[in-house]
Amino acid sequence: MRFYRVEWQDLYDFSLNRLKIGSYCVFCRRSSTSCRDLCDGCESQLQRITHTDRAGRVTSLCLACGIEGRSEICASCAQRRSPFTRIVAPYRYAFPLDKIIHQLKYHDRRVYARVLGSLLCAAVPAEGVLPDVLVSVPLSRARARKRGFNQAADIARWCASELGVPHWPDAAERIAETGSLAGLSRAERQQHILGAFRAADRVCGKRIAIVDDVLTTGATAREFATELYDTGALSVELWVLARTSSTR
């Protein structure tokens, strides 16, 4: 069993930036004087959900389905009822963000969660009411044991501390082993994930933001939101760092 394995490089990276001895960008590994984990050059490389191409055309990914279009919610998704009172998804799941998320999830680079949490925090609109609590999408016990940590919880923790909102990593658990949903269609995922979560009673009466790293079909987040509402949550937002694009 491997829990919270920390590599020396991570500790070094972390202390260097944290203690403000100097800092460097986790994307390009160049040193910088900004005392941030990300340099301005790399930040400008991140592909935003809505962007303007060289010809001046503005395109956006639909936050709900990932289809490329003109607005953040496409016409067909606008007609469907969404369980989320708001979706925050600032970036497309594309280079270089996909590499960083992959490194965090599959190569134990937990030090990257801080910059990801900070980017997510910066994407939350200043206007409007903040949620009472951030709740990360739980991993199954088997997955948590194998990985040693939950990347969504790591991102949520940094985001929460920057925003000054509590994060409850134990507010819910995944009670069904659903395995990987990769390769399944939207309908198959929704069917597969049914009843997979159990939320603790303390979410009752709370305004919650679900935090996750990547949004694909949204089946997992929708099922999790349903469980939170069934347990009495007042409202549920979805905050993810990156959205995959879909072709339909």
Q: Which residues bind Zn ion (CB under 5 A)?
A: 25, 27-28, 39, 42, 62, 64-65, 74, 77
Nearer to Zn ion by C-beta: 206 or 222?
222
Nearer to Zn ion by C-beta: 39 or 241?
39
What secondary structure does DSSP assign to 82-107, as a single string?
PS-S-EE--EES-TTHHHHHHHHHHS
Handedness of CA 189, 240, 222, 81 (dihedral sign): negative
Provide the minimum distance between the beta carbon of 202 and Zn ion in the complex, in angstroms, as a whole number.
Answer: 33
Provide the minimum distance between the beta carbon of 218 and Zn ion in the complex, in angstroms, as a whole number.
Answer: 10
Provide the minimum distance between the beta carbon of 30 and Zn ion in the complex, in angstroms, as a whole number.
Answer: 6
Nearer to Zn ion by C-beta: 77 or 214?
77
Provide the minimum distance between the beta carbon of 176 and Zn ion in the complex, in angstroms, as a whole number.
Answer: 27
Nearer to Zn ion by C-beta: 67 or 165?
67
Retrieve residue 179's tokens: 């395995």
User: What is the CA angle 68-27-116, rounded to 5?
Assistant: 65
Where are any strands of DSSP class E within the chain? 23-24, 31-32, 50-52, 58-61, 68-69, 87-88, 91-92, 133-136, 172-174, 197-199, 207-215, 235-243
Cβ 48 vs Cβ 123: under 8 Å: no
Provide the minimum distance between the beta carbon of 81 and Zn ion in the complex, in angstroms, as a whole number.
Answer: 13
Instruction: For residue 245, give the nearest of 45, 48, 44 by alpha carbon.
Output: 48
Nearer to Zn ion by C-beta: 10 or 72?
72
